[in-house]
Amino acid sequence: MIDTAVEHIPVLLSQVLEFLQVRKGGIYVDCTVGLGGHSEEILRQLEGSGRLIALDRDKEALERARERLRSRYQNFQLFHENFKNLPIILPQLGVQCLDGCLVDLGVSSHQLDSPERGFSFQLKGPLDMRMDKHQKSTAADLVNQLPKERLAEILWRYGEEKAARRIAAAIVQRRKTAKLRTTTELAELVEQVKGHAQGRIHPATRVFQALRIEVNQELAGLEEFLQQAIGLLAPRGRLVAISFHSLEDRIVKTVFQKEAGKCVCFRPPEFCTCPRVENVQILTKKPVTPDPEQIMRNPRARSAKLRAVEKLKTGDRRQEETGDRRLETGARSQNSGARIQEPESRTQNSELRT
């Protein structure tokens, strides 16, 4: 029996519900079910009608979510899947379009609090960091095998770590004598390079974020996925995305702007290549962030940013320019859900039906 009694506070819960506007009888997808906090509230609002399809690439998370939800609800299905496979999964379930879709990016508190998963620099555990244990490469593989330059690039690009080169050099120096095997070994090494924490942020925070993003390929394909998710929404359907760092938020913001028909290339109009087709209306002019009370109850929510869009009805769409090239580009982004190739990494026997 899995212990689901541990208090779990879903991030920006009331705001997620406010923007999703769950309708009875609707079809919703929670792309990142985690411990099932947001899913539980969506199901509560569905009041036994409609359907919730929930995914996670972490099998342990799915088991926990199942324990949490199954005693009270029947109208949900859980799948061990990467959300990037959504355009493949939905047709298999006979679903053509969605009334709402939630993606709450990043790691769950369960992953962070489990030392054996290796996500936390504060808890001693193997340097693992895989969300899906079927994946081959762990964080230990990266730090012990990658060339110095590639390591530095990852720390810089995904952690925006200023000391990326020095840390990469120290890692490579260290592994000449002994491999780095645990979270705390790496955290201590980073601390030696950067010095002790000056403020509230631990010196290894950015290094761990960068390695986690690389291990799980968190940013790869995110833009394409968001475009496809919008393509799968029914008219008036809503997509809500929560991100936890600026790299993710930038991608969410840019896709939403592009799909709202705005220019995201910032070139002079005559050189602009943006589709300029309005597929959605942006519901959050600025990202929604947790209030101080929410942060006090759940400090991990402090960097959360929520953005939401609503799919327009065909009649509502406005084409800024009607040149052939622009029309073509717009049509491609609307129908992109149908174009995905099945990725090799798709897990087999992944269904966990309840």
Ligand X SMILES: C[S@@+](CC[C@H](N)C(=O)[O-])C[C@H]1O[C@@H](n2cnc3c(N)ncnc32)[C@H](O)[C@@H]1O
Nearer to ligand X, 104 or 259 (CB): 104
Least gap, CB of 241 to ligand X (angstroms): 11
Q: How many CB atoms lie within 10 A of CB 224?
A: 15
Least gap, CB of 63 to ligand X (angstroms): 11
Distance CA 338, CA 335 (A): 6
Closest residue to ligand X using C-beta atoms: 34
Nearer to ligand X, 39 or 279 (CB): 39
Is residue 289 packed enough to be buried (19+ CB in 10 Å), middle (13-18) or exposed (0-12)?
A: middle
- Give buried/exposed letters for 70-102 (b at 16+ CB in 10 A, else e): eeebeebebbbbbbbbbbebbeeeeeeebbbbb
Least gap, CB of 117 to ligand X (angstroms): 10
Nearer to ligand X, 36 or 87 (CB): 36
**Could you tell me which residues are beta bridge partners of residue 280?**
311
Least gap, CB of 105 to ligand X (angstroms): 6
Distance CA 67, CA 23 (A): 25
Nearer to ligand X, 63 or 320 (CB): 63
Nearer to ligand X, 13 or 263 (CB): 13
DSSP secondary structure code for residue 340 in this structure: P
Residues at the interface with ligand X (CB under 6 A)? 10, 32, 34-38, 55-58, 61, 82-84, 104, 106-108, 131
Tokens for 15, please give them: 């705001």
Least gap, CB of 109 to ligand X (angstroms): 8
Nearer to ligand X, 106 or 118 (CB): 106
Least gap, CB of 258 to ligand X (angstroms): 21
| Closest C-alpha among 267, 262, 305, 266 to residue 282 | 262
Is there a contact between 103 and 179 (Cβ–Cβ < 8 Å)?
A: no
